[in-house]
């Protein structure tokens, strides 16, 4: 039996196109990432205002470590400072923060700053904002399986894996949005997106606004979800 989709409980976003946005304006890539950070804050606030329970964003993938050292360190600084600066607003909005990924690869100064924000916001009870940092879907599954093996498990269920992912406790995404015209999933929430609805738009991430978010949600709401039935 197909089910008519209602409002998504969990939206996940691949924020793509910062570099192309900057190039179109003859600006350095860093300007695109800065504009992307502003959009992230606006969209997070918009999701919160709309009563979305979970928002997950793909901020830095395991593959992104292969970018130039200058871009990687600029991104680290921008993201860490951005999250620290956004903390008071998240406190005001009762947002809970969850960091998904291999933070051990981060420089200690950034890692500690980020974990501090996550810890302080852990008492909040409103929207859960998951930020994927140094994140890869395959690595996350491998990490989960190794964790289970270390715990002594000899037979593993799907539920065991779900409960051992970085996203443990977070329901699977209903709607996955990717901006900038690329129609691929790029190692994002591979396990969790098994039954997600996808929405691809040509809009570059820094140009994605509340109007575009509403369009994505409206498209989702018109779909029938079959879950393979
Ligand atoms: C992809 O665009 C974007 C990134 C790799 C970085 C995303 C980061 C932000 C939007 C900042 C958000 C910050 C926080 C704290 C969540 P791209 O560089 O691959 O663009 P291109 O494909 O046009 O080159």
- Which of the listed CATH numbers 3.30.470.20, 3.30.450.40, 3.40.1180.10, 1.10.150.130 matches domain 3-138+172-225? 3.40.1180.10
What are residue 176's phi and psi, to 5 degrees?
-115, 120
Task: Say what the pLDDT of residue 2 is.
Answer: 61
Dump the DSSP string for 135-165: E-HHHHHHHHHHHHHHTT-SS--HHHHHHHS
Q: Are 2 and 176 in contact (CB under 8 A)?
A: no
Cβ neighbour number for residue 160 with a 10 Å cutoff = 15
Q: pTM value?
A: 0.96
For 76-101, write each residue's pLDDT tens digit.
999 999 999 999 999 999 999 999 99
pLDDT band per the 50, 70, 90 thresholds, residue 175 = very high
- Mean pLDDT, to the nearest integer, of 103-114? 96
- CB of 20 shorter than 6 A to ligand 1: yes
Q: Are 58 and 13 in contact (CB under 8 A)?
A: yes
pLDDT band per the 50, 70, 90 thresholds, residue 1 = low
- Mean pLDDT, to the nearest integer, of 162-187? 98
| The Cα angle at residue 33 between residues 46 and 217, in degrees rounded to 5 | 30
Average predicted confidence (pLDDT) for the chain: 96
For 140-157, write each residue's pLDDT tens digit.
999 999 999 999 999 999
Q: What residues act catalytically? A: 16, 64
Nearest Cα residue to atom 16 of ligand 1: 59
Nearest to 199 by CA among 169, 170, 167, 222: 222
**Roughly how many angstroms between the first and final C-alpha of the chain, as a whole number?**
6
Q: Which of 14, 15, 208 to mutate to test the pocket of ligand 1 (most atoms within 8 A of CB)?
A: 15
Lowest mean pLDDT: which of 1-10, 16-25, 131-140, 177-186?
A: 1-10
Rounded percentage of the chain residues whose pLDDT exceeds 90: 94
Q: Which tokens is 94 given?
A: 């009762």
Question: How many A from CA of 33 to the centre of ligand 1?
Answer: 6
What are residue 47's phi and psi, to 5 degrees?
-60, -45
């Amino acid at each position: 039996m197909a089910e008519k989709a209602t409002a998504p409980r969990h939206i996940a976003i691949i924020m793509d196109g910062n570099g192309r946005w900057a190039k179109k304006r003859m600006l350095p890539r860093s300007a695109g990432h800065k504009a992307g950070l502003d959009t992230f804050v606006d969209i997070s606030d918009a999701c919160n205002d709309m009563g979305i329970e979970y928002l997950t964003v793909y901020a830095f993938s395991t593959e992104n470590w292969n970018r130039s050292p200058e871009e990687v360190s600029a991104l680290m600084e921008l993201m860490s400072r951005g999250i620290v600066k956004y903390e008071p607003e998240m406190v005001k909005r009762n947002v809970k923060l969850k960091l998904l990924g291999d933070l051990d690869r981060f420089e200690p100064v950034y890692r500690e700053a980020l974990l501090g924000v996550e810890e302080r916001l852990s008492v909040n009870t409103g929207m859960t904002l998951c930020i994927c940092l140094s994140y890869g879907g395959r690595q996350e599954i491998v990490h989960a399986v190794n964790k289970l093996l270390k715990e002594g498990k000899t037979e593993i269920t799907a539920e065991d894996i779900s409960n051992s992912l970085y996203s443990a406790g977070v329901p699977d995404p209903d709607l996955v949005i990717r901006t900038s015209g690329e129609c691929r999933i790029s190692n994002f929430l591979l396990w969790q997106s098994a039954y997600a609805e996808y929405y691809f738009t040509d809009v570059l991430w820094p140009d994605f606004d509340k109007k575009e978010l509403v369009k994505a949600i409206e498209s989702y709401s018109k779909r029938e979800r079959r879950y393979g039935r």
